[in-house]
């Protein structure tokens, strides 16, 4: 069984910003400007206690001129602070939004190119949450909380420098009382918060997955009486999320211990500062500077405590997003491409019509249990082949392997002599197309859905393809023809009509090999005949492989390949 990487429910949060830096590097100039503006704005705030302290000393010295100078300096600082903080926020938000947009686009691109087996192995709700909700949380953090986080960090640095300048001794007293206590509080919080917030994010993904299952399986649950079972499962998942959320909130409560630390520190500063001022070691203004600066310092610490939860949530979301990007990153091909002409996309150019070869193909979903074992088949250009066998014999798996949607555990699938693994995605899709039993639709008109092929075909080209396939009457029977609004399609169209849409898409691509998975299964006889007639109108030189159960469909095909278990029984 070929190994495939799996996402981690609670990925490592260590050095997450370092791991995110490659995605931020293109915006390093904007980040630098935003940080410099923010630092300048913070410096104006830190300077305020110093100016007030100087003003107090001028009052005690009865120096009116010095007092007026201090007042003027405070006015200038207030104006600069307003301008610089506004500019810093605008720069930071603009840069942050560009980074988040790039991450969102990259996540969608990576998922759209991820192996089908990877997508099938993960709950759709979890993938949806990582690429929507958690990116939205990250964007909200960039807009609302990140400017405050950087301001608090800069204020801590600049305030420390200011206090050291005024009185190293009093600063030492502050450090001995405040730093060890606050570090202890933060360590307790980190120890409790990291697993708590990660578990809450994972539980939220499970709830989203369970709810999505309801939406996708609502008919089956309603008709089969499974709503009660699903509801119990949902309530259990929701209870686990509730408990995880409570655990996260309990970890946040630890931050409130910082208020006790702040009160004790203020008391120590008043006692020590008063004693030093009484001895003449420092001025009264210096004591005022320390009290005001540390009060702002504590306010910043309180603000930081309010931000810690959001920072932790954002870091967890960023770690989960980076886990997705890392897991879905392009990797070197397992099979080396054969020397051939290059199509400019990193792979060989293949013939318009070529042989499809399957050699010693093996595949397993579970280690030790082969779904397909050692199959070898050759299909010549233009052949029409039926692939039949009992349910569970591996027909759909083989279809996905021969169209390159799955990579084999061993063996090869070749088109025109080239391993499918060596072909660029665009070249592969141009040559081999699968119409699945369940044709997927998007919100919009019939024309919108038929355009879901490379090249964005014009309406005239689509109309001509419809005429060639002989299904123009069916199109005209719809309310507005090609412009009929289908919603998501699955409610307005029958299974057979959905297959017709898949067939039109394939005709627009004109592939060398067309694989139809149970195209006529579970549809009414009249629609089945329409579909079979449309299939017959395809170009004679196109290879056609049909997975079928209907005897009428099988009899129309000159060659049949039969599967039983993981073995190829016979082909005629």
pLDDT digits (tens, 9 = 90+) for 50-71: 888 888 888 888 888 888 888 8
Name the least confident of 312-326, 383-397, 487-501: 487-501
Position 439 scores a pLDDT of 81
With residues binned 3-state (H G I as helix, E B as strand, rest as coil), the percentages for the chain, rounded to 5, are 65, 10, 25
Please tell me the distance from the alpha carbon of residue 278 to that of residue 207, in angstroms, as a whole number: 64
Average pLDDT on 129-153 reads: 75
Beta strand 418-419 with 567-571 is unpaired
Residue 356 has pLDDT above 90, yes or no: yes
Tokens of 73: 């300096």
Residue 169 has pLDDT above 90, yes or no: no
Considering only residues 226 and 113, tell me which one the structure prediction assigns the higher pLDDT. Answer: 113
Tokens of 487: 């919603």
Considering only residues 536 and 381, tell me which one the structure prediction assigns the higher pLDDT. Answer: 381
This prediction's pTM: 0.59
Residue 422 has pLDDT above 60, yes or no: yes
Residue of 350, 301, 347 lying closest to 152 (CA atoms): 301
Taking the CA atoms of 337, 343, 349 and 352 in sequence, report the sign of the dihedral they define: positive
Residue of 472, 450, 449 lying closest to 533 (CA atoms): 472
Tokens of 263: 């009160």
Please tell me the distance from the alpha carbon of residue 10 to that of residue 317, in angstroms, as a whole number: 10
Position 168 scores a pLDDT of 85
Longest dimension (CA), the chain: 112
Helices 284-327 and 146-166: crossing angle in degrees, nearest 10, is 140
Cβ-contact 495, 522 below 8 angstroms: yes
Specify the DSSP element, H or E, that contains 433.
Answer: strand 432-435
Greatest mean pLDDT range, 189-198, 323-332, 404-413, 540-549: 404-413
Mean pLDDT of the chain: 79
Name the least confident of 92-106, 202-216, 305-319, 344-358: 305-319
Cβ-contact 341, 387 below 8 angstroms: no
Q: If pLDDT is split at 50, 70 and 90, which confidence band does 412 have?
A: very high
Beta strand 356-366 with 369-379 is antiparallel
Residue corresponding to tokens 């420098």: 161
- State the SS3 of 342-356: ECCCCCECCCCCCCE
Residue 213 has pLDDT above 80, yes or no: no
Cβ-contact 148, 311 below 8 angstroms: no
Average pLDDT on 224-237 reads: 79
Nearest-10 Cα torsion for 400, 405, 406, 408: 80
Position 224 scores a pLDDT of 65
Please list, in sequence order, all residues whose beta carbon lies within 8 angstroms of the beta carbon of residue 11, skipping any fewer than 6 positions away. 198, 319, 320, 322, 323
Q: If pLDDT is split at 50, 70 and 90, which confidence band does 332 have?
A: very low
Taking the CA atoms of 294, 297, 301 and 306 in sequence, report the sign of the dihedral they define: positive
Sheet architecture: strand order including 513-517: 432-435, 513-517, 543-547, 384-388, 559-564, 567-571
Position 344 scores a pLDDT of 44
Position 334 scores a pLDDT of 35
Q: If pLDDT is split at 50, 70 and 90, which confidence band does 338 have?
A: very low
Q: Tell me phi and psi for residue 474, to 5 degrees.
A: -65, -40
Average pLDDT on 299-307 reads: 67
Greatest mean pLDDT range, 144-153, 458-467, 481-490: 458-467
Residue of 485, 166, 388, 196 lying closest to 294 (CA atoms): 166
Residue of 437, 386, 416 lying closest to 545 (CA atoms): 386
Position 331 scores a pLDDT of 60
Q: What is the pLDDT of residues 3-17, one digit of tens each?
A: 556 788 777 777 777
Q: What is the pLDDT of residues 492-534, one digit of tens each?
A: 777 778 878 888 888 887 788 988 886 555 556 666 677 767 7
Helices 284-327 and 64-113: crossing angle in degrees, nearest 10, is 10
Please tell me the distance from the alpha carbon of residue 428 to that of residue 381, in angstroms, as a whole number: 16
Beta strand 410-415 with 356-366 is antiparallel
Calculate ∠ Cα 58-160-269, nearest 5°.
Answer: 65
Position 150 scores a pLDDT of 77
Cβ-contact 496, 527 below 8 angstroms: yes
Average pLDDT on 64-90 reads: 87
Residue of 93, 99, 95 lying closest to 31 (CA atoms): 95
Q: If pLDDT is split at 50, 70 and 90, which confidence band does 570 have?
A: very low
% of the chain exceeding 90 in pLDDT: 3
Name the least confident of 379-383, 384-388, 490-494, 519-523: 519-523
Q: What is the pLDDT of residues 255-297, one digit of tens each?
A: 677 777 777 877 787 788 778 878 877 888 888 888 888 777 7
* CA distance readout (Å), 140 to 99, 100, 129, 150, 206: 13, 10, 15, 15, 23
Position 34 scores a pLDDT of 83
């Amino acid at each position: 069984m070929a190994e495939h990487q799996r996402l981690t429910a609670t990925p490592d949060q260590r050095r997450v910003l370092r791991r995110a830096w490659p995605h931020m590097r293109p915006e390093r100039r904007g980040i630098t400007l935003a940080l410099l503006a923010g630092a300048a704005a913070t410096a104006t705030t830190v300077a305020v206690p110093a100016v007030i302290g100087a003003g107090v000393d001028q009052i005690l010295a009865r120096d009116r001129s010095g007092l007026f100078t201090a007042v003027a300096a405070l006015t200038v600082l207030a104006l600069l602070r307003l301008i610089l903080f506004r500019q810093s926020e605008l720069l930071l938000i603009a840069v942050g939004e560009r980074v988040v947009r790039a991450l969102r686009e990259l996540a969608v691109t990576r998922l759209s190119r991820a192996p089908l087996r990877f997508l099938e192995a993960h709950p759709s709700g979890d993938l949806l949450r990582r690429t929507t909700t958690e990116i939205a949380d990250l964007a909200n953090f960039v807009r609302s909380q990140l400017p405050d986080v950087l301001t608090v960090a800069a204020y801590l640095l600049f305030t420390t420098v200011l206090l050291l300048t005024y009185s190293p001794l009093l600063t030492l007293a502050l450090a001995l009382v405040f730093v060890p206590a606050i570090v202890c509080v933060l360590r307790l919080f980190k120890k409790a918060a990291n697993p708590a917030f990660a578990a809450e994010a994972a539980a939220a993904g499970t709830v989203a997955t369970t709810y999505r299952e309801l939406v996708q399986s609502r008919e089956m649950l309603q008709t089969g009486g499974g709503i009660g079972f699903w509801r119990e499962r949902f309530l259990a998942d929701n209870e686990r999320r509730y408990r995880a959320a409570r655990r996260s909130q309990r970890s946040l409560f630890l931050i409130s211990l910082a208020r006790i630390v702040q009160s004790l520190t203020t008391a120590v500063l008043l006692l020590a500062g008063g004693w030093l001022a009484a001895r003449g070691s420092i001025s009264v203004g210096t004591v005022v500077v320390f009290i005001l600066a540390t009060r702002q310092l504590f306010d910043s610490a309180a603000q930081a405590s309010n931000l810690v939860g959001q920072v932790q949530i954002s870091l967890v979301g960023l770690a989960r997003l980076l886990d997705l990007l890392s897991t879905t990153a392009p990797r070197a091909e397992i099979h080396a491409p054969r020397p051939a002409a290059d199509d400019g996309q990193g792979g060989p150019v293949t013939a318009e019509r070529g042989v499809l070869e399957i050699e010693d193909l093996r595949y397993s979903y579970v280690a030790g249990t082969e779904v397909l074992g050692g199959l070898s088949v050759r299909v010549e250009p233009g052949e029409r082949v039926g692939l039949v066998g009992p349910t569970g014999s591996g027909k759909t798996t083989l279809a996905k392997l021969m169209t390159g949607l799955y990579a084999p555990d061993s063996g090869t699938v070749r088109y025109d002599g080239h391993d499918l693994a060596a072909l660029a995605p665009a070249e592969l899709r141009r040559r081999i197309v699968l119409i699945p039993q369940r044709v997927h639709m998007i919100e919009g008109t019939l024309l919108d859905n038929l355009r879901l092929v490379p090249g964005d075909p014009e309406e005239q080209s689509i109309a001509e393809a419809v005429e060639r396939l002989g299904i123009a009457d069916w199109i005209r029977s719809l309310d507005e023809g090609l412009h009929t609004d289908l919603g998501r399609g699955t409610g307005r169209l029958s299974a057979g009509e959905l297959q017709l849409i898949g067939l039109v898409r394939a005709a627009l691509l004109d592939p060398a090999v067309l694989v139809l998975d149970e195209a006529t299964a579970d549809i009414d006889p009249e629609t089945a005949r329409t579909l079979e007639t449309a299939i017959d109108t395809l170009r004679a030189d196109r290879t056609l492989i049909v997975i079928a159960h209907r005897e009428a469909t099988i009899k129309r095909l000159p060659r049949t390949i039969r599967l039983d278990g993981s073995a190829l029984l016979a082909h005629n």
